[in-house]
Structures are given as structure tokens and as C-alpha cells.
């Protein structure tokens, strides 16, 4: 292992590494979370992937760092994970809006709650690639191109996964009474 602490260019400097960390850590963590679920293991993998990247900072440029980071993380996690349920939270502000609005009946709120439960179940039962792509697009607001770049596949492949994910969610939800 090269002594990267003495290398003062690019990613090795603490400040630039921290900036890189701040822009990418949440995305990587959520990416793994959407894919696999299970918070604790994922946080370890994120940490470890960043340490690995830092220790190898002389071999990586700022441009290649992101895909290198995601590759380390994916390699580490595929061997570790079985399928964990993905648990997502409602956003607080949405709840507040529902409580305060006058034109929504209690029945409506109850129905919405039931629907959200169904939806979360359906999302959990998606195949991991579909879930990862679907949630990156919907929650992280990533474009198909950005998602494609993260996992090194074509935009067309992502579009197909999105389509399949939505189709499967619809079938799942309509089939639950």
C-alpha cells in the first residue's frame, strides 16, 4: 500500500476527499439500501469502501473515483447480502399536510395509509435491480443516464428495468385485495 498521506494531489488531500465524500456518500448508501435493505451492514460497507478508495487515492483520478467507489461497494455487498426487506419512511411534511388539510376525510387518510403499506410491500418484493433503479429514479431523482453510469450499463437497460419495476408494482398492488 503506498503511503497516500504524503501524496498531496487531488483526492488524497483531506479537504478534497471530504468534499468527494460529502457529494457521494449519501447516494452510495441509499443506492445500496434500495438494492439490499438492512442499514447496519450497509453503513459498514459504505465506510469501508471510502477507506479503500482513500488508501488507493494515488491510483484514482477525481473523474474515475465515483465508479471505482461504487464498484468496490457492489463487489463487497453481493457476497454479503441475502434479500433484506427495504423499509422506507414517509416524509414528515407529507404527513403534516394531510393532518392539516380540511378537504381530506378520515376515510381518505385511512385509505392512503393502506395504500402506502401495500406499496411498500410491493417495493420490497421487487427484484433488487428493479428496486434499485426505480428508487434511485423516484427518491434520489436520478435520471436514467445517471443511473446507467452508476452501474455501467446502457440507458436502454435502465429504461427496461424501470418499465418492469412499475409493471410489477401495479400487478402486485392490484392483486392484493
> What is the Cα–Cα distance from 80 to 10, expressed in whole angstroms?
32
Shortest distance in whole angstroms from residue 32 CB to another protein: 10
Q: Which region, judged by CB under 8 A, interacts with another protein, from 62-70, 100-108, 157-165?
A: 157-165
Q: Is residue 138 a contact point for another protein (CB under 8 A)?
A: yes
- Find, among 33, 53, 35, the residue nearest to 43 by Cα: 33
Within 10 angstroms of residue 162's Cβ, the number of other Cβ atoms is 18
- Find, among 11, 51, 47, the residue nearest to 29 by Cα: 47
Q: Is residue 106 a contact point for another protein (CB under 8 A)?
A: no
Q: Which is nearer to another protein, 48 or 59 (CB)?
A: 48
> What is the Cα–Cα distance from 112 to 20, expressed in whole angstroms?
39
Q: Which is nearer to another protein, 150 or 162 (CB)?
A: 162
Q: Is residue 73 a contact point for another protein (CB under 8 A)?
A: no
Q: Is residue 81 a contact point for another protein (CB under 8 A)?
A: no
Asked if residue 1 lies in contact with residue 44, where contact means CB atoms within 8 angstroms, the answer is: no
Q: Is residue 39 a contact point for another protein (CB under 8 A)?
A: yes
- Choose, by CB under 8 A, the member of 7, 18, 75, 78 that binds another protein: 18
> What is the Cα–Cα distance from 136 to 143, expressed in whole angstroms?
8
Helix (H, G, I), strand (E, B) or coil at 81: coil
Q: Is residue 33 a contact point for another protein (CB under 8 A)?
A: yes
> What is the Cα–Cα distance from 136 to 35, expressed in whole angstroms?
10
Q: Is residue 103 a contact point for another protein (CB under 8 A)?
A: no
Asked if residue 16 lies in contact with residue 65, where contact means CB atoms within 8 angstroms, the answer is: no
Catalog residues that contact another protein under the rule CB under 8 A. Answer: 1, 14, 18, 21-22, 25-26, 29-30, 33-34, 39, 43-48, 50-52, 54-55, 76, 87-91, 94, 115-116, 119-120, 123, 134-135, 137-139, 144, 156, 158-160, 162-164, 166-167, 169-170, 173-174
Amino acid at each position: 500500500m503506498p503511503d497516500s498521506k504524503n501524496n498531496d494531489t487531488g483526492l488524497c488531500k483531506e479537504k478534497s476527499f471530504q468534499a468527494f465524500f460529502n457529494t457521494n456518500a449519501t447516494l452510495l448508501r441509499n443506492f445500496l439500501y434500495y438494492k439490499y435493505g438492512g442499514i447496519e451492514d450497509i453503513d459498514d460497507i459504505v465506510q469501508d469502501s471510502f477507506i479503500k478508495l482513500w488508501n488507493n487515492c494515488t491510483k484514482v483520478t477525481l473523474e474515475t473515483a465515483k465508479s471505482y467507489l461504487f464498484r468496490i461497494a457492489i463487489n463487497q455487498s453481493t457476497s454479503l447480502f441475502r434479500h433484506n426487506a427495504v423499509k422506507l419512511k414517509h416524509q414528515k411534511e407529507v404527513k403534516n399536510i394531510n393532518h392539516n388539510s380540511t378537504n381530506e376525510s378520515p376515510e381518505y387518510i385511512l385509505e392512503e395509509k393502506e395504500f402506502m403499506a401495500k406499496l411498500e410491500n410491493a417495493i420490497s418484493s421487487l427484484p433488487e435491480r428493479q428496486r434499485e433503479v426505480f428508487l434511485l429514479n423516484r427518491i434520489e431523482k436520478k435520471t436514467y443516464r445517471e443511473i446507467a453510469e452508476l452501474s455501467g450499463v446502457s440507458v436502454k437497460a435502465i429504461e427496461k428495468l424501470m418499465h418492469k419495476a412499475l409493471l410489477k408494482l401495479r400487478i402486485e398492488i392490484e392483486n392484493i385485495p
